[in-house]
Amino acid sequence: MLRLIIFAMLFVLSGIETYTGKVIKITDGDTIVVLNRSKEQIKIRLEGIDCPESHQEYGEKAKQAVAGLCFGKEVEIRKSGTDRYGRTLAFIYVGDVCVNKQLIIQGMAWHYKKYNKDPELARLEAQAKQNKVGLWSQPYPVAPWDFRR
């Protein structure tokens, strides 16, 4: 409990907006919809990660992984910004578990280095690669940003 209070204080001091909501929809591996306390639906793009596209290998598995981690659950949203499509960018927590980090650990997402410089996400991706977890078990995984081209 003390840890959560300290985290909350740090986020207030850093200007990062935090709130809670219930995950009501999984759009894909890195996009969810949350119903906040005001009963508003908020589309959230998971900060710092990029999952395979739906028609890409591991795309459906990534969607299932994020669903397993947070669908139907009350989550803490730590908003870091808004993307060019108007979606909220955020780190999502179920208790002490960061969904964004878990997807990288499970080999279901790349660290999106173009838009996020978090060294922890980079380290987790390197570890997943080294251990050939999830999409890293493929001989030549294609990053979603390359697949979209």
Q: What per-residue confidence (pLDDT) applies to 5?
A: 52
- Residue 86, phi then psi, degrees to nearest 5: 85, 5
Would you call 60 a catalytic residue per the annotation?
A: no
Would you call 45 a catalytic residue per the annotation?
A: yes
Averages of pLDDT over each 10 residues, the chain, 149 residues: 52 73 98 97 98 96 98 98 97 98 98 96 98 97 95
Reduced to 3 states, what is the DSSP secondary structure of residue 77?
strand
Q: What per-residue confidence (pLDDT) applies to 11?
A: 46
Virtual torsion, Cα 133, 135, 136, 138, nearest 10 deg: 120
- Please give the structure tokens belonging to residue 2: 């003390």
Q: What per-residue confidence (pLDDT) applies to 2?
A: 53
- Residue 126, phi then psi, degrees to nearest 5: -60, -40
- State the catalytic residue, choosing from 76, 78, 87, 125: 87
Would you call 87 a catalytic residue per the annotation?
A: yes
- Tell me the CATH architecture of domain 2-98: Beta Barrel (2.40)
Q: What per-residue confidence (pLDDT) applies to 14?
A: 53
Place of tokens 């759009």: 27
- State the catalytic residue, choosing from 47, 53, 76, 125: 53
Q: What per-residue confidence (pLDDT) applies to 16?
A: 80
Domain residue ranges in the chain: 2-98
pTM as predicted: 0.88
